[in-house]
Chain A
Amino acid sequence: MSAGDSGHRFDAGRRWEASLSLVFAARLSGAAEATRTRLIRARHHGPLRVQRPFYPEQRQIDLADPCHVYLLHPPGGLVSGDALKIGVNVEASAHAVLTTPAATKLYRADSYGVVWSQTNRLEVEDGGILEWLPQETIAFDGSRGEQRTEIALHGEARCLGWEIMALGRPASHLPFESGRIEQRFQLTRDGRPLWLERQPLDPVHPRFVGRWGQGEATVQATLWAAGLPDPGAAVTTVRAALPANPSWAVTQRHDVLLLRYLGGSRNEAWALCCAAWHALRPLLAGRAACEPRIWRT
């Protein structure tokens, strides 16, 4: 039996798929009129799981209790041929908070240069809220792949999220010198695109060091928030809450707030994203931020 027959191919056609599909819905819970966000469906294929949902937040009148869920990918990283698909659907008026228990690693491509892929499809119905707060992604030298985040909002849906990407492993003196990673973002409301962005990270391209491009940054972060009642005021709030510094800036266009960081410190990027989230959450969700416990472990 050949390698092809066994399903274990080692050429560009190799694919090891894993998928996770989650649906959150607001359901009546206990006392009069109280609603709680339930994880009403969790389907998985391959090594992607969720832990039992948490409800760490205080009940608020007229708001569904947010459901906190940790996404687990036991291998902890992506290798050549991996194809991860995460689909999240938040139904009307429900509120989900997703995070990961640890950083995701993007390992060096195999000798065939086979790519990995990760697709996050986040869909939020009218009045629903989704917070997508994964821990950072660490790209090892030589990694090759594409990470797509597609956010589809409907009606008055709200969504805040971030992606933090650290290139190379500076502590081990292993910079990102080869490989190619592309991050793509697509945010639509009722089918109309409001934010499209792509960030190819190619260490041999002039833009990797050029000031119009990466400017030698080894850590980058992108935070988005859509559905804020007053995006202009939210920008002012974020500016007041975070230490001014030319490695990050916040703006808003077409009702999407965007915070971007280009620098050299994972901790700085993480702290900025968390601080922005703390500042924005009361405006976006009518609640103070409630950090997932797993971040402290």
Chain B
Amino acid sequence: MVESTRDPLALMGLMQLVSPALPIGAFAWSQGLESAIELGWVSDEQSLREWLAGVLQDGLTVCELPVLARLQQAWANEDREALQHWNDWLQANRETAELADEDLRLGQALARLLGDLKVLPASGWLPPRPAYVTLFAWMAHRRGVVVGDAQLGFAWAWLENQLAAACKTLPLGQTAAQRLIERLRPELATAVSAANVLTDAELGPVLPGLALASALHETQYSRLFRS
């Protein structure tokens, strides 16, 4: 059993960070899902579940979740070199214009909000062009959230956001979305455990189909989402 966040203020800090009400505009991005639906690859509850489970395993598990842990550790250690390294690494792994844009714009929006709340890192500590994950890691560190919980929160926010995008694009009801949460909740926990045993050489997303869908989204005629 992993250690969990006991401090009530830390726990609420995590809830605040992963809430869909956090004003950073996450709702505007679908991470290739809108395009996958347009292509007919995702068309119902079952195919959506397969898509999300696949992206969780070959995306978050080998990219955002383990790197979030490394970044949070880097903030704790005040390791400027590691912060820069993993921030660069994340951006270099973004497969398409929209996925790179999403990362930077969510990062900018979160940085602006944290600036307004006066909780940004001291001047000079934030890498230039900070990725969303880099700032998420900073807040988890600052609030005293345990790494494993920060990862679960990150994965949870991803799942909720993907389901919200699917409900707007597919014929998919709110109850079906909750059914998918019931099915995928254990997989989020598995993803965090799997992420935490990977070595640096094993990291890197493997989502060639999603990358293709995301690049096709750039020329999709009618679209609701920015990615």
Give me the interface of A with B, judged by CB distance under 8 Å: 187, 192-200, 206-207, 210-215, 217, 220, 235, 239, 244, 246-254, 258, 260, 262
Contact = CB atoms under 8 A, between A and B. Distances in A.
A262 B95 CA distance: 14
A194 B58 CA distance: 21
A211 B215 contact: no
A251 B97 contact: yes
A105 to B, nearest CB: 23
Given A213-B206, A239-B219, A253-B100, 15 more contacts: A197-B204, A207-B58, A212-B51, A212-B58, A212-B210, A213-B54, A213-B208, A246-B216, A248-B212, A249-B215, A251-B95, A251-B215, A251-B218, A253-B97, A254-B92
A286 B53 CA distance: 46
Contacts of A200: 206
22 contacts: A196-B92, A196-B204, A197-B93, A197-B95, A199-B208, A206-B54, A206-B57, A207-B54, A210-B51, A211-B51, A212-B207, A213-B206, A213-B207, A213-B209, A246-B39, A246-B216, A253-B96, A254-B91, A258-B215, A260-B212, A260-B215, A262-B208
Contact of A211 (B42, B88, B91): B42
Q: Is the interface of B mostly helix, strand, loop or mixed?
A: helix
Contacts, number: 101
Nearest to A202: B206
Contact of A252 (B91, B97, B204, B214): B97
Contact of A194 (B54, B92, B216): B92
A105 B98 CA distance: 35
Contact of B208 (A194, A246, A260): A260
Given A212-B54, A251-B215, A198 B208 contact: no
B94 interface: yes
Contacts of B58: 207, 212-213
A262 B214 CA distance: 13
Given A197-B204, A260-B211, A260-B215, A210 B88 contact: no
Interface residues of B, number: 37
A258 B204 CA distance: 17
A198 B92 contact: no
A199 B209 contact: no
B125 interface: no
B157 interface: no
B201 to A, nearest CB: 10
A193 B88 CA distance: 7
Q: Which 4 A-B pairs have the closest CB atoms?
A: A249-B215, A212-B54, A253-B100, A193-B92
Nearest to A216: B209
A217 B41 CA distance: 14
Nearest to A261: B212
B208 A220 contact: yes
Nearest to B56: A212
B209 A253 contact: no
Interface string B38-70: 010110000100110011011100000000000
Contacts of B100: 253-254
Nearest to B90: A196
Interface string B116-145: 000000000000000000000000000000
Contacts of B94: 253-254
Given A196-B93, A207-B54, A246-B39, A215 B216 contact: no
B110 interface: no
Contacts of A252: 97
B208 A214 contact: yes
Interface string B99-111: 1100000000000
Contacts of B207: 212-213
Nearest to A211: B41
A128 B206 CA distance: 32
Contacts of B92: 187, 193-196, 254
A187 B92 CA distance: 9
B39 A210 contact: no
Contacts of B88: 192-193
Given A211-B36, A251-B96, A262 B209 contact: yes
A175 to B, nearest CB: 18
Interface centre among B95, B98, B209 (most CB of A within 10 A): B209
A214 B89 contact: no
Given A193-B89, A193-B92, A254-B91, A212 B97 contact: no
A250 B89 contact: no
